[in-house]
Structure 1
Amino acid sequence: MQETGRYYQEEAMKNQDEKTRPRQEKEPEKHFGRGVKQFTLRPGLRLSLVDIPPIEPIRLDFELNEAPLEFSYHLAGQPLYSIGHETGETSFKGKPGLNVVSAFPHSSGFMEIGGAERNRMLAIHLDPVFFSKYCKEHLVNLTDPISPVIERLVNEESFFYLCRQAQLNPSMTMVVNQILACPYQGMLEQIFLESKTLELIVLQLEMIASSSQSVCSLTPGDIKRVHTARDMLIRDLLNPPGLFQLARAVSLSHTKLNQGFRHEFGVTVFEYLRQHRVRQAKALLDTLEMNVTEVAYATGFSSPSHFTKAFRSHYKINPGSYLKEIQQRKVISLAKF
């Protein structure tokens, strides 16, 4: 989505000098084309509203360092999202009734919106500093424990990779429609949108907490074991432990270990290993010290053909072609001196 993508680009630039530049108390409402609006409700809390008629598809490429936590709500249309990130690649289409909780730090990709259908959606963007401070202010006098997933989000200095898709519940749908049909202007509009956005955040956190309890039975100790298993898995790419061996080493069943990897990293143990090998292979190709076959075996692939297939699937280019591009860039760079 072009307008939301532009917001992401602004956020990426802002994050580079956030600590050296004083925060502005308020930013004016921003309009990025017909049917798309953005509001800064508080420093670190932004709202994007989309309600556009059928148009020619618009594609926006983007690249991010840090990224906000985003809650998005789709009422109509089918925008396409494709994001490459540290744990792999995520692609999905928005559809009516879809709710997505996401954070894609250190990522790049594109958004495409438009087509023959009307597009109506809403997205909330939460800066980690704002989210942590705001939630902790309301946790001071609480005695009841909070969901481990919510606790992790609150205590993060920067958001980890996250992409959870669910079905909008009736309460969420009602609030989203109220926001998109806001009847006020000026100060009243700002107050209305802020109150409804906070209400939607409450509904979202409630869904996250309840779904994590019903779908994932991981305890904080289990999560720690999952991260220990991840470190063991990638320690030796040539001789990594198998799934059952790894599960025994961290005192988890292989089913719970795979469940934990999906919960924490969005992929299974095997897929995480494959993606890590591909990323390490790219780093080796970037050094220009090895050819494709040497890199394939150095990163634990059984054959150059298997490596080529995995690399092409991840980066949309053959490793041989990628290596040639890197070599050409170096030649051009040296020619400048």
Structure 2
Amino acid sequence: MRKGWPGCSSGAKQRRGRAPIDERGAPQIRRNSVNWNASRPYPAGSRREWSFASARKGVVRGFDGAGRITVADAALSIFMEHAIVQDGISLFAGGGSSPSGYSLSPTGEMPSRNLVIGCLLGGAGSIVAEGNETQDWRLPGQMYAVSLSERQLRYDISGQADYRSVAVMLTPDALELMASEDGVPELVARVLEGRSEPISLMRAMSAGALRAAQDLMAPIYQGRMGMLYQRAKTLELIAHQMDVLAEEPAMPGGLSPRELIRVREARERLLADLATPPDLMALARSVGLAPKRLNLGFRQLFGMTVFSYLLEARLVAARQMLEEGLDIPLKQLAWMMGYRQPSNFITAFRRRFGVSPGIYRRDLEDS
């Protein structure tokens, strides 16, 4: 038993009860609150307003004294939380659903040269940043980076599944401090120094970033220990995201807007039949691109090759079927996902989610 910190009731570590497990065996993320500011005041000057709009409802809300925004009715159910982690580093969490989908966007002028790096943990949609290519995501487990530059920014969320995300906003001062002490990726340095146009990109999230984001969405500490835990996990998340950005090329020879439309069409064709998808040659031919060009486009838009994207889509679809209670043998599920050998499916599932599909199913049933 850990020693309690001063000011914390009944010990520093306070688990919030046994919640349903997630894919890592951790408590499942709560849908309507993270409770980040329970032990500290929320600065009044931080209460930027956000606009939320669905087909049936539109509202503008600001963060309350606890750093929360809540919208709850039949047309639109949303929560957002904001916490100041340290000077220059802010943390945001969000989640919500609407039968018809919805959009959210910050109001007023956006601060220039701030960088937002986020993790998309659920749902599907797109990020629309004025002056950049729209970034779409169909699968959870994506990271994004957007530089703010006095421009419009909007998140369009699909009505297909509940949206969940964690994001960190870094000011120029925070980025400059990182650059002076440890350096920052060239892509970030170019934006910080004004040597590049604003960026908006989306890539596959690393396993380390996924764990840190999930830990931030389901904190297991309160009080002073909770604040230390939050700061440590936020810095860990930043480190993982910077690692991804460090691998980002300068993007010479990127695809044209017309070619990117064909890449998105190829993705839809790939996802249409996960059991027997077209091979790379056939897929590229069907959209009028060379295979090498199609792979380049997938890397540019989705941060991975066509083959890697297919593997990720299969595993995410299998996990979703298990969560929906599909009562079929794992061997049949493997075949539905295009695996000829069930053992290969089990190995891939365990490598991706940290637990075998059989154990994952049993844990869901027990919860």
For the aligned pair, the TM-score class normalised by the smaller chain equals: 0.3 to 0.5
Bigger radius of gyration, 1 or 2? 1
Structure with bigger helix share is: 1
Question: Normalising to structure 2: TM-score of the pair?
Answer: 0.44
